[in-house]
A and B are shown apart, each in its own frame.
Chain A
Amino acid sequence: MTGEDTAKTCYYRLILLGLCLTFGFSVILAQLFQYQVLQHDQLKQIADEQRDREKVVLPQRGVIADTHGYLLATNLVRWDISASPPLIADPDDLASRLAGLLALPKEEVYTRLTAEKPWVLLAKEVPQQTGEAILNLKADGLICEARQVRVYPEGELFAHVLGIVTNAGDGFYGVEGFYNSLLKGAGGKLQIEQNPVGDEIPVPPLNFNPPQQGTSLILTLDRNIQYIAAEELNRALEEYQAESGTVIVMDPQTGALLAVVSSPTYDPNHFAEADVRLMADPAVSNMWEPGSIFKIITWAAGLDSGTISPGTTWYDNGAIEVGGRVIQNWDRRGHGLVTMEDGLVQSLNTVAAFISTSVGKDRFYTYLRRFGFGDLTKVDLASEGPGMMKLPGDADWFPSELGTNSFGQGIAVTPLQMITAVAAVANQGRLMKPHIVRQFITTGAHSQERKVVQVEPTLVRWAVSRETAQTLTDMLVQAVEREGSSKARIPGYRIAGKTGTAQIPTAYGYHPTDTIASFGRLCAGRRPSLYHPGQAGPAQSLAVGHPDRRADLPGHRREAVHLSPHPAG
């Protein structure tokens, strides 16, 4: 082969090589075009998914405090401790260290750490300090997972009114249930980078959307009043061997609830162990026939409509027929010629029926509606019931109910409805919307700026005139001064009040022995303002309780003794 042939061969080989390279690069370019241009979005998404991870940043649930700022509900961290046995280098050493911290036998911990499983649970809901001590061991294969739990420093004292928060972070009952979405806040998102094993790469987050922390609530409740109310209620329940009871203390001028106590109760810190029937707040969920305490409303209707005055007389022969039903007094006796004030003081059913029939069914039920019966009070507590009130025209309303309703039978109310109505009398006839939250405190997601929203009292309507309320209050003072409620008297204070003893309806008529006792009281004295010094008003505190089986409530007197000299301001 000549040199010329060799050069020619080389030339062709170069051409061939060039073609091969061109083809190869073309394929690569085509692939690049395919990946970088045509499949760009899809592949980028896959890559991002592999590299980026989105972590949900849970918000802190808002705290709840009483009117003085004492903490009633807050959040703590509990740790769930688990392990991946295949990753543990020295199970014996780790078992001996964990056993001390978890207060478990070393053998038990060792058995779990050497189990042939990819994951084992060691302990749940470990207290914060123990969890952090375990975390500081920094042992490979040990997993410490923090979990937010709701705790209530006052335990049972505020159980009904606060409600509970489940492990999923949702509130039920009471304030927790009513304001769940506000308290809960909204979760944030943190976009981080991870390595192929899934560990977080310590670089600044790619994107961070901070969580909206839950709104904190300052309640109108005063934990001292709450405590005294609870003590007195428990004492009364024990004294009279009653099954259950409720005490509510309200500021009638604003509708602010100062104490809401019910018994029996439960510990919200361990609600899973409690009877679920105890969880609803009896103050807003339970209905009862109010009995004679309801006469306050009947007398208010009679006075406000001009049908009666305190001095109006009526001859009581012990019975009155309304709608074909004979209504008798509680003592089955006639009391002769009585004034309306006497009728209230002696709690005469016949006089109540006389008033309601004289007022007339339309006006009588209009007054009941004006006092809020048959409707929700719209208090900011979960699971409120509207009570039960039949109206003329309803299929199940009978004319005799005009008589029975006048002394609180055949009508069902919640304790909160009753106290709200009585508070209207104490507040010169103004019916206020009951409320339990005084302030909402919100912290911004992007700044630490606090926004405070104050809750203003809401006037629902005028239930009766100012004059009617004043006259009725004077009559109720007489009811305390002159008659059976003498235990409610407090020297130096002008107390207005009315007892009630309601029978308990059963499937076969009323229960022969058991009753529900109630007492509505207004402080109508010279210095009614316990918490707002300098303000003058007819009343500042009142309570309704219904320990079963007994009408007398000496507990209320003791409570009043505690309450009334409360230092102002």
Chain B
Amino acid sequence: MASHALPIPIAQARKRPRSQAAEQELSLQTVFFLFLALAILFGWLHVILSLEIASTGRQIQLKSDELEALQRDNNLLRWQVAAALSPQKLAVRARELGYGPQPPLYLPLTKADSQKPLP
């Protein structure tokens, strides 16, 4: 029965000196941990930034809502002022205070008056 050769990489690995393999493992480990550290760093930055963006977004939204509410209040106040100053309401209030339409007062103009320049 012919013997079957082992796969080459295993055979080569077996042939390598122990110290060289250990060195290679160490450098692989370093690279792996370096990548892991970088990934964690980027992940952390991403989370922090996302958090900041979300927080700022939320603040903007709250401020927008606040602005909208203020605009609504402003509109309401302007409407209330306009309604309170409407001539109908002022006339009613004036009557309540005892004021009323007076007979018109006509000032007779002389000819000399009529030739004076207008103010």
Residues of A within 8 A of B (CB): 4, 7-8, 11, 70-72, 74-77, 128-129, 132, 151, 153-155, 157, 202-204, 223-224, 227, 491-492, 526-527, 533-534, 561
Contacts and interface: CB of A to CB of B under 8 A. Distances in A.
Most central of B54, B61, B87, B108 by chain A CB within 10 Å: B87
B19 interface: no
Given A492-B107, A533-B118, A74 B53 contact: no
Contacts of A132: 69, 72
A157 B88 CA distance: 9
Contacts of A223: 86-87
Given A492-B107, A534-B118, A157 B87 contact: yes
Nearest to A146: B72
A128 B76 CA distance: 8
Most central of A7, A72, A76, A203 by chain B CB within 10 Å: A203
Contacts of B1: 4
Contacts of A153: 79, 82-83, 86
Contact of B72 (A128, A227, A533): A128
18 contacts: A4-B3, A8-B4, A70-B82, A71-B79, A72-B82, A74-B78, A76-B79, A129-B76, A154-B82, A154-B87, A203-B57, A204-B57, A204-B60, A227-B91, A492-B109, A533-B118, A533-B119, A534-B118
B24 interface: no
B63 interface: no
Contacts of B119: 533
Contacts of A227: 87-88, 91
Contacts of B3: 4
A405 B59 CA distance: 72
B93 interface: no
B118 A202 contact: no
Given A4-B3, A202-B54, A203-B57, A75 B88 contact: no
Interface string B1-36: 101101000000000000000000000000000000
A491 B76 contact: no
Interface residues of B, number: 33
B41 interface: no
Nearest to A527: B118
Most central of A70, A75, A202 by chain B CB within 10 Å: A202
A454 to B, nearest CB: 23
Interface string B87-119: 110010000000000001011110000100011
Contact of A202 (B61, B86, B114): B61
Q: Which 5 residue pairs spanning A and B have beta carbons closest together?
A: A153-B82, A227-B87, A71-B82, A204-B57, A202-B58
B75 A76 contact: yes
B113 to A, nearest CB: 10
A4 B85 contact: no
A202 B57 contact: yes
A462 to B, nearest CB: 28
A198 to B, nearest CB: 17
B95 to A, nearest CB: 12
Contacts of B75: 74-77
A11 B5 CA distance: 11
Nearest to B86: A154
B109 to A, nearest CB: 6
A71 B4 contact: no
Contacts of A534: 118
A534 B79 CA distance: 35
A111 to B, nearest CB: 31
Given A153-B83, A154-B86, A204-B56, A71 B78 contact: yes
A350 B13 CA distance: 132
Contacts of B56: 204
A533 B118 CA distance: 8
A129 B77 CA distance: 11
A492 B104 CA distance: 12
A204 B53 contact: yes
A508 B4 CA distance: 126
A71 B75 CA distance: 11
A151 B85 contact: no
B10 to A, nearest CB: 11
A513 B108 CA distance: 42
A8 B72 CA distance: 83
Given A157-B87, A527-B118, A203 B76 contact: no
B71 to A, nearest CB: 8
